[in-house]
Amino acid sequence: MSDLIHLVDSVEDISRAAIQLRGVAVNKEMDPRTVLDLFERWAAALQGNGMEAVPGVAFFRLWLRQGTLKPILERELGQGSVDGDWREEGQAKLRVFPLGVVGHWPAGNIEIQPVLSLTCALLGGNTCLVRVPSRLLESTNQLMKKLVTVDRDGILTERIQLLSFDHSREDLQSAMARNVDGAMIWGGQEAVARVRALPFPHWTRMAVFGPRLSVAAMDAEVWSQPDERRSWCERIARDVWQFDQQACSSPQVLFLERGARGAIDNFIEELREAFRKENQAHPRREIQPALTSVICLARANWLLDNVANRAWFSPSPDWTILLGQGTDIPKPTQFRTLTVLLVDNLLDAIEKFDGSVQTLGVAIGNPEKEDALAQAAGRRGVDRIVKLGRMHVFGSPWDAMDLIRPMVRIVRYVPSRDQKIPAKQTSLSSRP
Amino acid sequence: MNVLLEIEERLRALLTEEPYRLDVSEHQAGLLALLKTELAYACERNQSFGNYIQAWPIDYQTSKRIADLPFVPVGVFKSNPPLSLVEGSEITRILASSATTGQVPSRVVLDSATARRMTKGVMMIIRDFIGSSRRPYLVVDTPAALASNGELGARGAAIQGLRSFATEIICCLSADADGNLRLEGDKLLECSKRWKDAEVLVYGFTYVIWNHLVKPLQSAGVRLDLPNVRVLHSGGWKRLQQEAVGKEAFAQGVATTFGCSADRVIDFYGMVENVGVVYPDCDQGNKHVPAFADVIIRNELTLEPVSVGQRGLVQVSSVLPTSFPGFLLLTEDIAELIHEDDCPCGRRGTAFRFVGRAPKAEIRGCGNLETRRS
């Protein structure tokens, strides 16, 4: 067990951690500028020293930069919210206050997710109780150690309790739920359903991210251009490889608008080459045996189910391309298995989306056509429409939801007398 | 010559050989050409199968080793209708795997030629372990398991496969209206008395023997007196793991109940999809591969064959089926490669030990979406 993550085995352990966090949340205010400054330094500390080996750390570094977070704060919480003061709105004054203790249940497949999740709550001035999934203990510890080095006064770290316990411990999960004012829940269907069913107090506010799946779409104009094809295929491969295609933003299927007869073979050849290259650059280090069976079975079933289907795959379970046609999204296999479906019109596929699709990665030649697809996708429940190759690059809103705002209260104050409250007078410094 | 006749002729020759006399390289070299012929035949007979083989990343016709030939994962036999290389009218029997509750069983189709080879294959293997003489056959199951027509489950298939060793067959369990199994104690004690000095063959599923024979007799304080019995069992250990009964405890418990030595209790691994092949434990506790079959233990990350001492996913092969494409099958089981040709029991070729079913994959991602919105 790492030194920053506490292995807990009793309800009392969790209650103690929650009481300490509640005390800090109630008694110590922290202005957003302090948080932004510390995050900026955390980002710098994450540069080098082998930290790049932690998947997603490049994105996280970028996320922590003031240039990223300040606009998000201002968009979500209003202009001037970085100052942490009352701001005027008509006759009233508004100010952001934290919810209190925010519980975090990150997914077990994204290394940066525990820290990413807690940054959102910290920006709102909250304290954080985080259940770190067993697979992420090492990476979370590595990332948090860097925060400790820059946060020498413990301004942020005293607001964070990282806990480790078996996910099947209902008593501990429930204890955590009972002690939080906000909950940020990330993960697959089973995990999310289990957490949502915990005995949260009636006032707990929840922000749920996932489970979803994602899709890519490319029109014939783009993929039939020999000079552009390679770069687009490399972008798809990058999106497929990252997070081993287990993330809600991972493309599971690529809808490909039909083009000139015969040209599809050229496209597939480029895609295979891109997959081979990506695999060489980012080979898998281990795999559960049952997943190897799942991949092999997906390949076989695809080809046995329909003689018109085709497939290309490595002799190992490394990567798979399944080619067919149709507008329905097949059951995702994940683990670097991309289904390419030929369609006459991309809109036909998008019109069938059922709200399960989170991200649509696009490569469309004509901007007006792309606008129309984005419009249709938004209407059909898609939360993000982004350029292929950037399907995992998130910003706010995240899954069409704000990240910071759900974990704060915006207090409205109408003074009894018609006089202005001096801006700095009511604001406390970050430390007593 | 007609391809099927050519295959048939080569199989006939293989089924007359001693099953464990070849070393690994001779064994695999002998099977490689036959497997290629069978794959080509299967591609001709079944377009879908041909589509799968065509996509295989290595051209099987030029492959130099069995490990490069296209295998199918056993899960494909859960399809309906089952994968077949024969016309419906030629199907004489369908074998179904013993799927646990809620799972879809695998189903394989047999024509008369494949069924005949299946019986011969099992007989040759078992003969090597228990001798060729016929003897009384005690089935630890109900008479319904002996039904010989239509669809046959894994338990029935195993019971049927040993019939050729029997002079008479007695089933010592019955089922009540709800299907609950009950030991017919009187019948069993009568057999024990009658067969006292005879060589006796006993077969049952592992958990059935334990739960419906050993445990009831143990609690009744009854011991049988059959010192010359051979107790064969199969079906896996999953259900007994819940009761913390391991292989050794099982063998000892069974031996005490029958009044024989523990080395007369033989566990064998088999699956309905791997037609005509079973893998009994030798006296060293290893499983061996007969002349008409092959086993490759594959590393789960690379799918390359592992070295001696390593574990991986089990690929089983059989050249015996011509009614369905069950030549090279990737199972969901894990095994360890123990020897290549050096097993002290004297059998040559690959020796392995079954470790267990690969644990269900843990999928943790936020992309894990089981149900879609309607």
Question: Which tens digit of pLDDT belongs to each residue from B186-239?
Answer: 999 999 999 988 999 999 999 999 999 999 999 999 999 999 999 999 988 878
Residue ranges of chain A that CATH labels 3.40.605.10? 5-210+399-413
What are residue A323's DSSP bridge partners? A310, A340
pLDDT at A210: 79
Contact by Cβ (8 Å): B269, B122: no
Residue B164 sits at φ, ψ, to 5 deg, of -65, -10
Whether B150 has its CB under 8 Å from any CB of chain A: the answer is no
CA of A118, closest CA in chain B: separation in Å? 17
Q: What percent of chain A is helix, strand and coil (3-state, nearest 5)? A: 45, 20, 35
Whether B362 has its CB under 8 Å from any CB of chain A: the answer is yes
SS3 B50: helix
Give the whole-angstrom CA distance, residue A173 versus residue A361.
Answer: 36
**For A94-141, how does the pLDDT look when each residue is reduced to its tens digit (9 = 90+)?**
999 999 999 999 998 889 999 999 999 999 999 999 999 999 999 999
pLDDT-based confidence at B371, cuts 50/70/90? Answer: low
Whole-complex ipTM: 0.92
**What stretch of H or E contains B281?**
none
Contact A312 B57 (CB under 8 A): yes
- The sheet with strand B151-153 has its strands ordered as B107-110, B93-96, B151-153
Q: What is the mean pLDDT of residues B331-355?
A: 94
CB-nearest to B370 from A189, A248, A314 is A189
Q: In this structure, how many other beta carbons lie within 10 angstroms of the beta carbon of residue B328? A: 22
pLDDT at B179: 84
Nearest CA-CA partner of A263 in A235, A288, A238, A228: A228
**For A31-54, how does the pLDDT look when each residue is reduced to its tens digit (9 = 90+)?**
899 999 999 999 999 998 888 888
Contact by Cβ (8 Å): B94, B110: yes
Contact by Cβ (8 Å): B238, B358: no
Identify the architecture of domain A213-387 in CATH: 3-Layer(aba) Sandwich (3.40)
Residue A87 sits at φ, ψ, to 5 deg, of -125, 150
**For B6-44, how does the pLDDT look when each residue is reduced to its tens digit (9 = 90+)?**
999 999 999 999 999 999 999 999 899 999 999 999 999
Fold observed for domain A5-210+399-413 = Aldehyde Dehydrogenase; Chain A, domain 1 (3.40.605)
pLDDT at B144: 86
- Neighbouring residues of A261: CB distance < 8 A, sequence distance ≥ 6: none
Lowest pLDDT segment from A403-412, A420-429, B150-159: A420-429
Nearest CA-CA partner of B356 in B322, B331, B326: B331
**For B267-281, how does the pLDDT look when each residue is reduced to its tens digit (9 = 90+)?**
999 899 999 999 999
pLDDT at A66: 96
Chain A residues within an 8 Å CB radius of B57 = 312-315
Q: What is the mean pLDDT of residues B348-373?
A: 81
What are residue B265's DSSP bridge partners? B231
Token digits for A55? 């998947």
Q: In this structure, how many other beta carbons lie within 10 angstroms of the beta carbon of residue B27? A: 24
Mutate to test the interface with B, among A134, A288, A354, A356 (most CBs of B within 10 A): A288
pLDDT at B238: 79
How far, in Å, are B233, B240, B241 from residue B245 at the CA level?
Answer: 14, 5, 6
User: Which A residues in the span 360-419 are in contact with B, Cβ-Cβ below 8 Å?
Assistant: 381
How far, in Å, are A61, A69, A142, B15, B314 from residue A55 at the CA level?
Answer: 12, 21, 12, 55, 32
CATH of the structural domain B117-269, one choice from 3.30.2030, 3.30.310, 3.30.70, 3.40.50? 3.40.50
If you ran DSSP here, which 8-state letter would residue B211 be given?
A: I
**For B261-314, how does the pLDDT look when each residue is reduced to its tens digit (9 = 90+)?**
999 999 999 899 999 999 999 999 999 999 999 999 999 999 999 999 999 999
Give the whole-angstrom CA distance, residue A424 versus residue B39.
Answer: 81
Chain B residues within an 8 Å CB radius of A311 = 55
Token digits for A215? 């899709």
The domains of chain B are located at 117-269
CB-nearest to A247 from B58, B304, B366 is B366
Chain A residues within an 8 Å CB radius of B51 = 303-304, 307, 309-310
Contact A211 B368 (CB under 8 A): yes
- Chain A: residue whose CA lies nearest to B300: A289
| CA dihedral angle for residue B59, residue B62, residue B65, residue B70, rounded to 10 degrees | 20
SS3 B303: coil
Size of interface A-B (CB pairs under 8 A): 169
Write a three-state SS string for A53-118. Answer: HCCCHHHHHHHHCHHHHHHHHHHHHCCCHHHCCCEEECCEEEEEEECCEEEEECCCCCCCHHHHHH
How far, in Å, are B12, B20, B125 from residue B9 at the CA level?
Answer: 5, 20, 20
Mean pLDDT taken over chain B:
92
Whether B29 has its CB under 8 Å from any CB of chain A: the answer is no
Chain B residues within an 8 Å CB radius of A307 = 47-48, 50-51
- Chain B: residue whose CA lies nearest to A335: B363
CA of B267, closest CA in chain A: separation in Å? 24
If you ran DSSP here, which 8-state letter would residue B226 be given?
A: -
Sign, CA torsion B187/B189/B194/B196: positive
Contact A248 B366 (CB under 8 A): yes
- Chain B: residue whose CA lies nearest to A109: B365
User: Which B residues in the span 54-93 are in contact with A, Cβ-Cβ below 8 Å?
Assistant: 55, 57-58, 68, 71-73, 75-76, 79, 83
pLDDT surpasses 80 at B257:
yes
Q: pTM above the 0.95 mark?
A: no
Mean pLDDT taken over chain A:
92
pLDDT at B281: 96
Amino acid present at B59: D
**For A151-182, how does the pLDDT look when each residue is reduced to its tens digit (9 = 90+)?**
999 999 999 999 999 999 999 999 999 999 99
SS3 A9: coil
pLDDT at B215: 96
pLDDT at A431: 40
pLDDT at A425: 46
Chain B residues within an 8 Å CB radius of A55 = none
Contact B83 A247 (CB under 8 A): no
Residue ranges of chain A that CATH labels 3.40.309.10? 213-387
Q: b/e per residue, B77-105, with b = 16+ CB within 10 A?
A: bbbeebbbbbeeeebbbbbbbbeeeeeeb
